[in-house]
Structure formats: structure tokens, C-alpha cells
């Protein structure tokens, strides 16, 4: 058994080393070709910057643009488990897939609009408490206090732990009979809750876990923004007799806006597409009661093998996020500098 396992590990290591060697050799060849063409032949004045950015550009083309284009191609096909090798592509298939997203249940019972509403609730509640909790902790840590480094380290631990480990650990804590959460509730005289078998309580459970995981990121981001604000603003406000609330509203929040805007957008996109927490704790159950758009998309593709439908479904999710990000940036003024506000 041990030699077999070692053989598998050795084979995997050899494949990894071979892949890295191929990538390094390809990058060197690409850089050499760019040097000859841009510097030697064309005498381009921006030869060095182009050479430096070229590998990253090729990587983006290979890992982002090509998969996205292939996903659009699949969205206009009837590809499924039964037509994996011999599938057809056409405009009619694309229209049919897009209509199926809105007309029929995405999985067995749950429809797109239900999933969208649940995803919006999931995203709004999580991001609201991420920002609120992160702002509260960042303000506390931005004040003079003993052991500040220890507190920062302890508060960052939920974010530092891999989500897979954290989610599986919390799944055990929500066990009806032996979980820590129900044991604490019983200690205070409450009845234990069916966290993982009741759809409503299961949804509450995954929200609580994701709030716990997401607050440290917002705390670190906001803390960096707070430390970039000059104390002179607060000194001048105190001389003018401004209260703490007026200082927070008129100085802290406006100057935090350039930091908060991208952080909130990232938080919304990450939470909207958060797959790990829900799938690892409840797998979207019970009775599809905790599925959101991204988990239902995963099931549609990898459990129901509806590849063309799943590709169209993913495009719909992408368009929703793109429209929201544009509206949020326009309303919040995220593209404006501090001096323009």
C-alpha cells in the first residue's frame, strides 16, 4: 500500500515539475522572441515594459478570456451528458437555454426567482454585518491600547483559516445533539435547534458562519483606511467643538469612502458567489432550502450534467453582478477622488 501511494505521489510530483518546466521554458522563449522583435528589430521605446507585461497578458488570455469565450460558446449549445461529444451549436439553443433559466426549475423544485431572492438576502445580510462588524473592530483597534498586536492577530484568525476547514468545523458545531451551539443554548435554558435539518435554520446557520468568516477582511481593510487619515482633521474638529458623532460622519466616513467602495464591491461579489460555506455545511439542503445561485449552478452542471444550460445560467449571474457593480459605482461615486467629493 505504501509503495503504491508513494508511486502515485511521485508521479504527481513529476507531472507538476514537468508542467513548471514547460511554463518556464515557454515564458523564456516568449521573452526572447519579444526582445528580438521589439528591441532589436523595431527599436520600440517601450520594449522593456511590454516584455515585462507580456507573460501576464498571455496568462490572462489563457486563464480568463479563453474560458469566458468558451463558456459563451457552450451557452449557445445543447451540450449535456447525453450529447457530450456530439452536440449542436446555434442561436436557437442559446435562446432556449436563457429562457429555461427563467421558465423552469433550475434544479428539481427551486426556481430562478426564488434563488435570486435568497441570494440577494444572503448577500445583503452578510455584507451589512461584514462592514458593520469590520468598522466597529477597526475603530476599536485604531485607538491607543495595550496588546493591540495580539488582538489584531486573534481577530484575523477566522480569515486566515482555510474556508474548507472552518466550514467543516462549524458543521460539527451545529450538530443537533453534540454541537457546541445547541449545548450552549441548552445551558441557558433554550431548546436545541434543528440547525441542519430545518431549511430556515440551516440558512441562518450558513449566514452566521459566513459573517464570522468575512468580518476580519473588512476590519483589516477599514483599519488601513483609518490609519491613512491624518490626525490633524480630528484636532481641528475638536477645536471647533465637533462631537465624536459629527467627526465620524463628517471626517471618517467621507475619507473612508475610497477604501470602502472597492471593499464593499469585492465583498458583494465574493459573497454573491460564495460556494464553499453553503456547499460544505448543507450542500444546498435540506430540500434545496439553502441553495443560492452559485450552488444551484454547480449542481446543474456537475450533478445534473446540463452543460449548455449551466453556461447560459452563469452568463445571467455575470450580467447581474456587472450591472450591480456599475450602478453601485455610479451611486457611491467610487470613481471620484476625495478632493472631488
Q: Would the pLDDT of 142 be above 60?
A: yes
Burial of 266 (0-12, 13-18, 19+ CB in 10 A): middle
Cell of 116: 435570486
Give the pLDDT band of residue 123 (cuts 50, 70, 90): very high
Over residues 58-105, the pLDDT tens digits come to 888 988 999 999 999 999 999 988 888 888 999 999 999 999 999 989
> Which residues partner with 89 through β-bridges?
77
- 195-198: long-range contacts, CB 8 A cutoff, minimum separation 24: 196/171, 196/281, 196/282, 196/286, 197/286, 198/286
Contact status, residue 299 vs residue 107, Cβ threshold 8 Å = yes
Mean residue pLDDT across the chain: 88
All 3 cell numbers of residue 198? 430545518
Q: Is the pLDDT of residue 9 over 80?
A: no
pTM, two decimal places: 0.84
> Worst-scoring range by mean pLDDT, 98-107, 185-194, 310-319, 328-337?
328-337
Q: What pLDDT was estimated at residue 333?
A: 65
**pLDDT at residue 10 in the model:** 65
Q: Give me the mean pLDDT over the 334-338 stretch.
A: 54
> How confident is residue 330, by pLDDT bands cut at 50, 70 and 90?
confident
Mind listing the pLDDT tens digit for each residue in 297-325? 999 999 999 999 999 999 999 998 888 88
pLDDT higher than threshold 50 for residue 338: no
Amino acid at each position: 500500500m505504501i509503495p503504491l501511494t508513494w508511486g502515485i505521489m511521485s508521479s504527481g510530483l513529476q507531472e507538476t515539475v514537468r508542467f513548471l518546466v514547460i511554463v518556464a521554458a515557454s515564458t523564456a522563449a516568449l521573452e526572447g522572441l519579444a526582445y528580438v522583435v521589439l528591441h532589436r528589430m523595431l527599436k520600440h521605446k517601450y520594449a522593456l515594459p511590454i516584455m515585462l507585461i507580456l507573460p501576464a497578458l498571455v496568462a490572462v488570455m489563457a486563464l480568463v478570456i479563453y474560458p469566458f469565450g468558451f463558456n459563451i460558446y457552450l451557452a449557445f449549445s445543447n451540450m449535456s451528458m447525453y450529447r457530450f461529444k456530439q452536440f449542436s451549436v446555434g442561436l436557437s439553443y442559446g435562446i432556449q437555454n436563457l429562457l429555461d433559466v427563467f421558465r423552469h426549475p433550475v434544479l428539481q423544485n427551486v426556481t430562478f426567482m426564488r434563488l435570486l431572492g435568497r441570494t440577494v438576502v444572503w448577500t445583503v445580510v452578510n455584507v451589512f454585518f461584514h462592514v458593520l462588524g469590520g468598522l466597529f473592530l477597526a475603530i476599536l483597534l485604531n485607538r491607543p491600547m495595550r496588546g493591540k498586536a495580539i488582538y489584531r492577530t486573534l481577530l484575523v484568525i477566522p480569515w486566515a483559516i482555510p474556508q474548507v476547514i472552518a466550514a467543516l468545523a462549524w458543521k460539527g458545531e451545529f450538530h443537533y445533539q453534540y454541537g457546541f451551539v445547541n449545548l450552549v443554548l441548552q445551558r441557558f435554558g433554550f431548546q436545541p435547534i434543528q440547525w441542519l435539518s430545518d431549511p430556515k435554520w440551516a440558512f441562518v446557520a450558513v449566514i452566521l458562519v459566513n459573517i464570522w468568516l468575512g468580518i476580519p477582511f473588512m476590519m483589516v481593510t477599514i483599519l488601513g483606511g483609518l490609519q491613512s487619515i491624518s490626525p490633524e482633521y480630528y484636532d481641528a474638529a475638536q477645536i471647533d467643538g465637533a462631537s465624536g458623532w459629527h467627526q465620524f460622519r463628517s471626517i471618517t466616513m467621507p475619507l473612508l469612502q475610497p477604501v470602502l467602495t472597492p471593499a464593499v464591491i469585492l465583498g458583494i461579489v465574493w459573497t454573491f458567489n460564495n460556494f464553499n460555506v453553503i456547499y460544505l455545511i448543507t450542500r444546498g439542503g435540506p430540500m434545496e432550502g439553502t441553495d443560492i445561485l452559485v450552488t444551484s449552478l454547480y449542481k446543474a452542471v456537475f450533478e445534473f450534467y446540463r452543460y449548455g444550460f449551466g453556461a447560459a445560467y452563469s452568463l445571467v449571474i455575470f450580467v447581474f453582478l456587472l450591472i450591480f457593480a456599475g450602478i453601485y459605482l455610479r451611486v457611491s461615486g467610487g470613481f471620484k477622488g476625495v478632493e472631488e467629493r
